[in-house]
Structure 1
Amino acid sequence: MDTPQRRRRPDRWSLHEFQEMELNAPPNEKWELIDGIIHKMMTGGSLAHNEIVVNLAVVLRSELQARSSTCRVYTTNVPVVSEAIDMSVCPDIAVRCGPRVLDQKEMTDPVLLVEVLSRSTGEKDRYDKAEAYFRVPTVQHYLLVAQDRMDLTVLTRGEADWMRTRFHAPEDVAEIATLGVSLTLAEIYENVKEIVGPY
């Protein structure tokens, strides 16, 4: 089978080549393509990781619905792809705006992306994925959420560069201006302290 472990090639993979490989990969194997380089995805995840993803998805969805927004919230099963930069990545959460195509299996135009950090993926999320996400023109916000402590980093696209804001306290409010959404750390980390212990 033509998988990354068995196929050694000096050059990088195109998005098309990666998608062909995925069709033949075992169902229990999950991969991502970042700037033409293939990475094996972490499967499963901790209870804290899943709790944070659910909390954020629920809050985002509720706020968007309250504003009658056309934006929708998606989780890890929908890859974000870009042929221009050879990328196929499954963020923990993605928000896309505009008309929906219900049988669509991937997206090219997310507005907001979220990754919940872990020890095994934190460096990749902070650097490799961030660099790739920043090259997607529609992406306006990238959220990095720690799971072992109360720590949220919001990266927002500016005119010349990305602006970084960090939040640490339960009452802190992160304003996601493009979506008109406000997120408190208390909402994001609800019930997580019982899993990971005191922050």
Structure 2
Amino acid sequence: MAEPVTKPEPVTKPMTAAEFLRWAEGSEQRRSELFRGEIVAMAPERAQHVRVKANIWRALSNAIADAKAECEAFVDGLGVAIDEHTVYEPDVLVNCGAAVGADSLLAPAPVIVVEVISPTSRSLDTNVKLADYFRLESVKHYLVVDTGRRLVLHYARREGEVAVTFVRDGVLALDPPGLTLALADIFPQPE
């Protein structure tokens, strides 16, 4: 007796960045990223996370104005394309150079990328995203902000290597593009 023939499972090809951006424009889903061709929904954010994100954006915007740098800070929404199948949406980023077009969904030249970690994103932010962001030549600084410990991990590209500094107080020097960021401006005062 012959073995029954089973049909193979359909092979789904990974979504490309261009397909993801078209999908995201029409999606009602709040926030999502594309990771190796798969759409990943982002978890809702707690108030503390949102406050710190806003503080970082404000501090970076003020630092850009003070330095008269040809850069712009963005909070949420603008993506960073890592490759053909990966697009992240950092919490805050600084894009330098030519102004980002009004209809753009991607930052063309992100120099500073910031992720405020949450319990569900800690491993991804400190491992996979760290390696991925530094695949982009434009990225010079990656800040991983831990609100619970009031700590910033400052990864900086220096002379072809990436160095990390643990910062709990004082000022971060983000050069290039020549900005300074005081940690007192990032973390709300304890309640």
- State the 1:20 CA deviation: 4.0
Residue 114 of structure 2 corresponds to 114
Deviations 1:15-50 (A, max 9, x none): 13323443553x13532113334322123x111111
Quote the residue 2:6 is aligned against.
none
After superposition, the Cα gap between the structure-2 partners of 1:156 and 1:24, relative to the gap in structure 1 and judged at 3 Å, is: same
Task: State the 1:147 CA deviation.
Answer: 1.2
Secondary structure, aligned partner of 1:59: helix
1:96 matched to 2:95? The reply is: yes
Distance 1:23 1:67, change over 3 A: closer
User: Matches of 1:136 and 1:91 in 2, distance apart?
Assistant: 14
1:23-172 mapped onto 2 (5 Å cutoff): 23-25=25-27, 27-43=28-44, 45-82=45-82, 84-100=83-99, 101-169=101-169, 172=170
| Structure 2 partner of 1:19 | 21
Moved more, 13-22 or 124-133: 13-22
Separation in 1, partners of 2:54, 2:26: 30
Output the amino acid matched with 1:164.
Answer: V
* Cα distance in 2 between the residues matched to 1:180 and 1:34: 31
Percent identical among aligned pairs is: 25
Larger Rg: 2
Between 182-191 and 133-142, the greater mean CA deviation after superposition: 182-191
TM-score when normalising by structure 1 = 0.82
Amino acid at match of 1:12: P
Q: CA RMSD in A?
A: 2.0
1:32 aligned partner, one-letter code: E
Secondary structure of 2:133's counterpart equals helix
Gaps of 5+ in 1: 1-7, 195-199
CA shift at 1:58, angstroms? Answer: 0.9
The answer to whether the 8 A contact 1:115-1:145 is kept is yes
Once the two structures are superposed, residues 91-114 of structure 1 have per-residue CA deviations (whole angstroms, 9 ceiling, x without a partner) of 000100122123323223201100
The residue number in structure 1 matching 2:7 is: none
Aligned equivalent of 1:3: none
Measured in 2, the distance between the counterparts of 1:59 and 1:46 equals 20
- CA distance 1:15–1:149, change in 2 (3 Å): same
Displacement of 1:12 in angstroms is: 3.1
SS in 1 for 2:166: strand
Instruction: Give 1:176's aligned amino acid.
Output: L
- The verdict on how the C-alpha distance between 1:186 and 1:158 changes in structure 2, with shifts beyond 3 A counting, is same
Report how many aligned residue pairs link the two structures. Answer: 181
**Contact 1:34 1:128 (C-alpha < 8 Å) held by counterparts:** no
3-state SS of paired residue (1:114): strand
Say if 1:94 and 1:20 are closer, same or farther in 2 by CA, change over 3 A. Answer: same
SS in 1 for 2:14: coil
Q: Distance in 1 between matches of 2:133 and 2:46?
A: 24
- TM-score (norm. length: structure 2): 0.85
Structure 2 unaligned regions, length at least 5: 1-9
